[in-house]
């Protein structure tokens, strides 16, 4: 990518998209193309077609998606499937029609089977049953991967797919009904600390293990792969390290400074037992993460404190 190439970041106001914009600007890319959802409904086929015909981007980062945690995924199953299918189908097809030089599709680690061997290797895709609570979202993301492969196979498009692990960072979603586990814990412990609550309730047993990557590290990896990777196969992006939800919960409580009791509501679902990414392919390209989890949680909490009026509005 050259500094003046027109680069479209779909989903630029989300946590991942905003991290991509920061990373691109930091590296001197000056011709960034963005649209809010009110300016461009990516589910609208004609609107997306008109946008590509007018703007004709050279590169596309497809980070736009409807996302959420276990509760949101399991409650809004139709929306998670429909919205994500439409977003990725419209953008990928128009990228082909308007000769985009290269497109990068961002998926999710939930694409892998619930009981796949650990760590999760790229070739485990479609080898088993998905986790039921987020199956619609996973199917949509798998479709995005297969769209990139199909357009590459039939039309020789340089469309690549990357699969991030669980993400957190600046501009995360702190809505307790729809957020992922880490930001939800930050908000819960902060509010418990401020309100001097004697205990905080956490979901499940605490036994599932999860891997977490700071969103700015993900953006750095995405730019690196856009510059250095042109393969058909998807690439996992993560740290290659995980910890239990119980360990994570204790780490967040310590970072926030909450010293009350943690109670586990075992009537709530745990989700997939483990989701550790095999990142040997990524490491083989020469990229590794730089922000370790304790530092990342501290940075995320500082961001929450600075912006909590917006995040909890």
- Encoding tokens for residue 114? 């619930």
Q: Which of 137, 151, 258, 301 is the catalytic position?
A: 137
CATH of the domain at 35: 3.40.50.720
Residue among 178, 180, 214, 184 at smallest CA distance from 201: 184
Question: What's the total number of domains in the chain?
Answer: 1
Distances (CA, A) of 133 to 75, 165, 306: 9, 17, 33
Instruction: Please indicate if the annotation marks 165 as binding a ligand.
Output: yes
- Asked whether residue 307 is assigned to any structural domain, the reply reads no
- Asked whether residue 179 is assigned to any structural domain, the reply reads no
pLDDT of 230 reads 97
- Asked whether residue 282 is assigned to any structural domain, the reply reads yes
- State pLDDT tens for residues 138-149: 999 999 999 999
DSSP 164: E
Which residues of the chain are under the pLDDT cut of 70? none
Give me the phi and psi of 129, to 5 degrees please: -75, 140
Tokens 């500094």 found at: 3
Distances (CA, A) of 273 to 97, 166, 202, 211, 231: 41, 14, 16, 12, 30
Return the CA Rg of the chain: 19
Instruction: Please indicate if the annotation marks 109 as binding a ligand.
Output: yes
pLDDT of 1 reads 93
Instruction: Please indicate if the annotation marks 14 as binding a ligand.
Output: yes
Residue among 222, 184, 206, 307 at smallest CA distance from 264: 206
Instruction: Please indicate if the annotation marks 188 as binding a ligand.
Output: yes
pLDDT of 68 reads 75
Sheet strand arrangement including 243-244: 243-244, 209-210, 274-275
pLDDT of 71 reads 76
pLDDT of 61 reads 98
Beta bridge partners of 210: 243, 275
**Are 180 and 133 in contact, with CB atoms under 8 Å apart?**
no
Instruction: Report the 10 Å Cβ neighbour count for 198.
Output: 8
pLDDT of 60 reads 98
- Asked whether residue 189 is assigned to any structural domain, the reply reads no
Contacts (Cβ under 8 Å, ≥6 apart) of 218: 16, 19, 164, 167, 237
3-state DSSP assignment of residue 18 = helix
Instruction: Please indicate if the annotation marks 236 as binding a ligand.
Output: no
Instruction: Please indicate if the annotation marks 156 as binding a ligand.
Output: no
DSSP 162: E
3-state DSSP assignment of residue 287 = coil
The pTM (predicted TM-score) of the whole model is 0.93
- Asked whether residue 100 is assigned to any structural domain, the reply reads yes
- Residue 53: which domain range? 7-169+212-240+277-290
- Asked whether residue 223 is assigned to any structural domain, the reply reads yes
- Asked whether residue 67 is assigned to any structural domain, the reply reads yes
pLDDT of 110 reads 87
137 counts as catalytic:
yes
């Amino acid at each position: 990518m050259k500094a003046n190439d027109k680069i479209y970041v779909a989903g630029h106001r989300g946590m991942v998209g905003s991290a991509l914009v920061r990373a691109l600007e930091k590296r001197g890319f000056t011709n960034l193309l963005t649209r809010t959802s009110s300016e461009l409904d990516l589910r609208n086929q004609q609107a997306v077609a008109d946008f590509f015909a007018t703007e004709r981007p050279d590169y596309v980062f497809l980070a736009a998606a409807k996302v959420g945690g276990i509760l949101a995924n399991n409650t809004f199953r139709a929306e998670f499937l429909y919205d994500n299918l439409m977003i990725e189908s419209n953008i990928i097809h128009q990228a082909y029609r308007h000769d985009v030089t290269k497109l990068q599709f961002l998926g999710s680690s939930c694409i892998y089977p619930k009981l796949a061997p650990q760590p999760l290797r790229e070739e485990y895709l479609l080898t088993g049953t998905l986790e039921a609570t987020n199956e619609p979202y996973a199917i949509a993301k798998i479709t995005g991967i297969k769209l990139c492969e199909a357009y590459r196979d039939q039309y020789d498009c340089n469309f690549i797919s990357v699969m991030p692990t669980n993400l957190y960072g600046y501009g995360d979603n702190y809505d307790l009904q729809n957020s992922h586990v880490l930001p939800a814990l930050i908000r819960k412990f902060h509010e418990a600390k401020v309100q001097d609550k004697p205990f905080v309730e956490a979901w499940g047993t605490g036994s599932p293990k999860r891997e977490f990557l700071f969103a700015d590290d993900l953006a750095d990896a995405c730019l690196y792969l856009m510059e250095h990777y042109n393969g058909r196969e998807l690439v996992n992006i993560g740290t290659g390290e995980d910890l239990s939800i119980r360990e994570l919960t204790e780490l967040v409580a310590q970072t926030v400074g909450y010293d009350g009791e943690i109670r586990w509501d075992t009537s709530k679902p745990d989700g997939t037992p483990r989701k550790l990414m095999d990142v040997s392919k990524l490491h083989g390209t020469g990229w590794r993460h730089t922000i370790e989890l304790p530092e990342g949680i501290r940075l995320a909490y500082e961001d929450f404190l600075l912006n909590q009026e917006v995040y909890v509005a």
